[in-house]
Amino acid sequence: MLLNGAQILVESLVEQGVETVFGYPGGSVLDIYDQLYKNSHRINHVISAHEQGAAHAADGYARVSGRTGVVIATSGPGATNLVTGIANAYLDSVPMVAITGNVASHLLGKDSFQEVDIVGITQPIVKHSYLVKDVKKLSQTIKEAFIIASTGRKGPVLIDIPKSVQKDVCEYISKPVTVKQHNVAFDNDFDAALQAIKQSKKPYIYCGGGVIAAEAEAEVLELSKKLSAPIGLSMMGLTAIPADYELNLGMCGMHGKYASSVAQSEADLVIAVGVRFSDRATGNVDKYSEKCTIIHIDVDAAEIGKNIRKKIGLCGDVKEILNFILPSISSFKNEEWLARIEENKKADKTENDGSFTPRNIISTVQSFCDNDTVIATDVGQHQMWTVQYYQFKKSRTLLTSGGLGTMGYGLGASIGGCIANNKKTTVLFTSDGSFGMNLNELATAVSQKLPIFVIILNNGVLGMVRQWQNAFYEERYSQTTLNRQTDFPMLAKAFGGNGYSATTLEELSDILRNSNNLCAPCIIDCKIDMDEKVLPMIPPGGCINDIILE
Amino acid sequence: MDNKFIVGLIVSNHFGVLNRVAGLYSKRNYNIDSLAVGETENPEYSRMTIVSTGDKYMEEQVVRQLQKLHDVKLVVVLDEQNSVSVEHMLIKLKANGDRTEISELINTYGGKVMDFSNEYITSEITASSEKIDEFIEKAKLFGILEVCRSGSISMVHGTENMLSINNL
């Protein structure tokens, strides 16, 4: 069958099982969009307000569905607008295929109109990338891209397709493609790991996003039950274990739960599963590993020994490794250890006194949510409050920017997540600062009729930076007091959505209660105090002894 | 403890691969002392020899990060025990008087004269990088006009070569 490049792209996407793509048309992708027009019954295209929003939507879609997200942008500015979204997916190991058009082959390298070297620009932030120069290689390239994005440690792959290649015609035959998996020489010392587990009196499990990526949630839970080991979670791993599981101590690290950080510091064994020991999660790495043996299980050999050097490393698919070692582990229970953990958990408990604080706002919103409601956040204080206080019960229900910490991630991500979750009600917790970055995507949520509650924890300042200025810069609030006069409810209405303000928990509940059968985004502006802090906090590079509780 | 270490690579032979490999070093804040690259007997693949300075931790990270690149097919750390290494140099020296001493120096290092006039001699030297450093030091006496070094290239001992494209 003779097809042009654009047709081959669409056929290949359909073959990959892609149902929804996010993107924005332009001069260098006209041929692709012409084919998307003709194939709209096979592939649903969601147009964003800005390519960054489309990239975050593809990211959110991938996180919720577990499948590879796809984003399409034109050459030049369309492509550069993807950069933050691609970097975000790279840092959080999200499977994504980004497709960019480029100028015609004969114009490449001539600084042509809307030409940039997007392969070069994105090189440090992709798992792999392609500039397709020959239409005959396009089909194979797309197949490879999907395999690379979704296997091993997942991540974004970019395919740059010059306009001329989209027009070029060739015989299209779909041949199977194999991508050589690198056999990284890694000596898995299972005996040492099992020995360390056997000897441990105070085991602790540190569970990260790799557990969700490998779908190993049940195995980690089984490990915890077998060893009566408490679990601390990285932010990326937060939804892997239900919040109400008795040994789930919640997030660990800089803004983690007190019980989680203390248990880690007192454990004699840390079994780290699908984590990379980010500086935000460990603080001072020497102190972190001072008293404990560390078993590090991860799919990426380069992560084992990168941040924590003293370790027993087990490299490979996290699920397979856990299933391999679980039968050799005998049940263990240290009542004293469990009692100590139970005692520490008390420090994290506070009562809802009915005041209009971030914590109570989040709890109130949660009372209107199901276990499978997708929760998105932006970045900053509201993000930390959400991951601290929202009780996640189901894997893949949290969309948050971990590694890159992208303010403006949330709205795009919630759009992608909402679509992946069959357009069920979705919640975005954001702030006036973060929301201001990419609020243009409200237009997308309106046109797509998406029931997204946008809860703005509005403190009028850039709260997290302000908190640091307060703690470490003698209250010199440089450029963090915004003095904006944005009327968020009115803004929502201007975009064609719904908008409200709430000043009490009762008002908030009423708005949520009366917003059933929502088929448009709904902003709820919640004014909170500008000096609310995210606590506890272990200062950067610190350890448990440095923890600030009040 | 920082040491020089050599990494041998088999990579896909297409545009942009050199960029990816070099970019990985700079992104991870590793320094490249020298890099030599050329096609193998199979034009689908190229071979690179990269010399860096760092400790064991950096060496392990370099290898593991390189192994993750899709275009990198094989990575082997080469050292004096498992391989031989040489470097090529072209060096242009001032030579407007008596040339006996210069010729002797070149001969001592097994060099060849490639080009000359009344004012200069251009010589080619093939030797270990250390020997080449040594030669340059001695040649300063005569006045160096220009130096061009290739960077080390290395090859593993024996027939069971881990870095052969036959192992792909």
Q: Is A113 a catalytic residue?
A: yes
Residue-number span of the structural domain to which B28 is assigned? 3-79
DSSP for A256-279, written as a single string: --HHHHHHHHH-SEEEEES----H
pLDDT at A467: 97
What residues contact A328, with CB distance under 8 A and at least 6 apart? A190, A194
Q: Do B70 and A309 touch (CB under 8 A)?
A: no
What residues contact A264, with CB distance under 8 A and at least 6 apart? A204, A206, A232, A252, A270, A288, A292, A544
- Identify the CATH assignment for A358-527 out of 3.30.720.210, 3.40.30.10, 3.40.50.970, 3.40.605.10: 3.40.50.970
Decide if B62 is inside a domain: yes
Same domain, B73 and B97: no
The residue count of chain B comes to 168
Query: Final residue of a domain: which of B79, B95, B116?
Result: B79
Give the best residue of B68, B72, B76, B168 to mutate against chain A (max A CB count within 10 A). Answer: B68
Region B23-35 average pLDDT: 94
pLDDT at A122: 98
pLDDT at A184: 66
Query: Final residue of a domain: which of B39, B54, B79?
Result: B79
Q: pLDDT tens-digit profile of B113-166?
A: 999 999 999 999 999 999 999 999 999 999 999 999 999 999 999 887 778 888
Q: Is A310 a catalytic residue?
A: no
Residue with tokens 């470097």: B87
Q: Is A186 a catalytic residue?
A: no
DSSP for A142-164, written as a single string: HHHHHHHHHSSS--EEEEEEEHH
Nearest to A120 among B19, B61, B67 (CB): B19
Q: Is A464 a catalytic residue?
A: yes
Region A34-45 average pLDDT: 98
Q: What is the pTM assigned to this prediction?
A: 0.96
Decide if B48 is inside a domain: yes
Same domain, B123 and B96: yes
Region A317-345 average pLDDT: 96
A183 pLDDT above the threshold of 70: no
Q: Are A286 and A307 in contact (CB under 8 A)?
A: no
Same domain, B19 and B69: yes
**Residue from A350, A192, A200 nearest A263 by CA:** A200
Same domain, B71 and B88: no
Query: Is the alpha carbon torsion for A199, A204, A209, A212 positive or negative?
Result: positive
Same domain, B70 and B91: no
Q: CATH code at B37?
A: 3.30.70.260
Query: Final residue of a domain: which of B30, B56, B79?
Result: B79
Q: pLDDT tens-digit profile of A477-536?
A: 999 999 999 999 999 999 999 999 999 999 999 999 999 788 999 999 999 999 999 999
Chain A residue closest in CA terms to B28:
A124
Q: Do A180 and B60 touch (CB under 8 A)?
A: no
Region A211-223 average pLDDT: 98
First to last CA, chain B: 34
* A305 neighbourhood in chain B, CB within 8 Å: 57, 60-61
Most confident of the ranges A179-188, A303-312, A331-340: A331-340
Same domain, B48 and B97: no
**pLDDT band at residue A182, thresholds of 50, 70 and 90?**
low
User: CA geometry: angle at A515 spanning A513 and A517, to 5°?
Assistant: 120
Decide if B162 is inside a domain: no
* A128 neighbourhood in chain B, CB within 8 Å: 69-71
Amino acid at B102: I
High-pLDDT (> 90) share of chain A, %: 89
Q: Do B68 and A302 touch (CB under 8 A)?
A: yes
Q: What span, in angstroms and rounded, lies between the C-alpha atoms of A236 and A398?
A: 9
**Residue from A195, A143, A133 nearest A168 by CA:** A133
Q: Which of A5-9, A104-108, A187-191 has the lowest mean pLDDT?
A: A187-191
Given the residues A1, A15, A38, A113, the one annotated as active site: A113
Given the residues A154, A163, A257, A319, the one annotated as active site: A163
Nearest to B64 among A120, A131, A302 (CB): A302
Region A93-112 average pLDDT: 97
Give the best residue of A90, A122, A123, A148 to mutate against chain B (max B CB count within 10 A). Answer: A123
- Interface confidence (ipTM) of the complex: 0.91
Decide if B29 is inside a domain: yes
Q: Do B67 and A305 touch (CB under 8 A)?
A: no
Q: Do A182 and B67 touch (CB under 8 A)?
A: yes
Region B36-40 average pLDDT: 95
Tally of domains in chain B: 2
Nearest to A305 among B60, B68, B71 (CB): B60
Q: Are A165 and A133 in contact (CB under 8 A)?
A: yes
Q: Are A420 and A61 in contact (CB under 8 A)?
A: yes
Region B100-111 average pLDDT: 95
High-pLDDT (> 70) share of chain A, %: 99
The domain ranges of chain A are 2-171, 190-348, 358-527
- Taking only residues 297 to 326 of chain A, the set having a beta carbon closer than 8 angstroms to any beta carbon of chain B reads 300-302, 305-306, 309
**Residue from A122, A126, A128 nearest A102 by CA:** A122
Q: pLDDT tens-digit profile of A289-320?
A: 888 999 999 999 999 999 988 889 999 999 99
Decide if B74 is inside a domain: yes
- Which CATH superfamily includes the segment(s) A190-348? TPP-binding domain (3.40.50.1220)
- Identify the CATH assignment for A2-171 out of 3.40.50.970, 1.10.10.10, 2.60.120.560, 3.40.50.620: 3.40.50.970
Same domain, B93 and B141: yes
Same domain, B8 and B53: yes
* A120 neighbourhood in chain B, CB within 8 Å: 16, 19
B63 pLDDT above the threshold of 90: yes
pLDDT at B166: 82
**pLDDT band at residue A350, thresholds of 50, 70 and 90?**
confident
Q: Do B23 and A128 touch (CB under 8 A)?
A: no
The answer to whether domain A2-171 and domain A358-527 are alike in fold is yes
Q: Do A305 and B57 touch (CB under 8 A)?
A: yes
Q: CATH code at B116?
A: 3.30.70.1150
Q: Is A163 a catalytic residue?
A: yes
Q: Do A127 and B16 touch (CB under 8 A)?
A: no
pLDDT at B164: 83
Average model confidence (pLDDT) across chain A: 96
Tokens describing residue A282: 């460990």
Q: Are A518 and A500 in contact (CB under 8 A)?
A: no
Q: Do B16 and A128 touch (CB under 8 A)?
A: no
Region A125-146 average pLDDT: 97
High-pLDDT (> 90) share of chain B, %: 86
Given the residues A7, A16, A22, A51, the one annotated as active site: A51
Same domain, B95 and B146: yes
- Taking only residues 145 to 204 of chain A, the set having a beta carbon closer than 8 angstroms to any beta carbon of chain B reads 148, 153, 179-180, 182, 184
Decide if B129 is inside a domain: yes
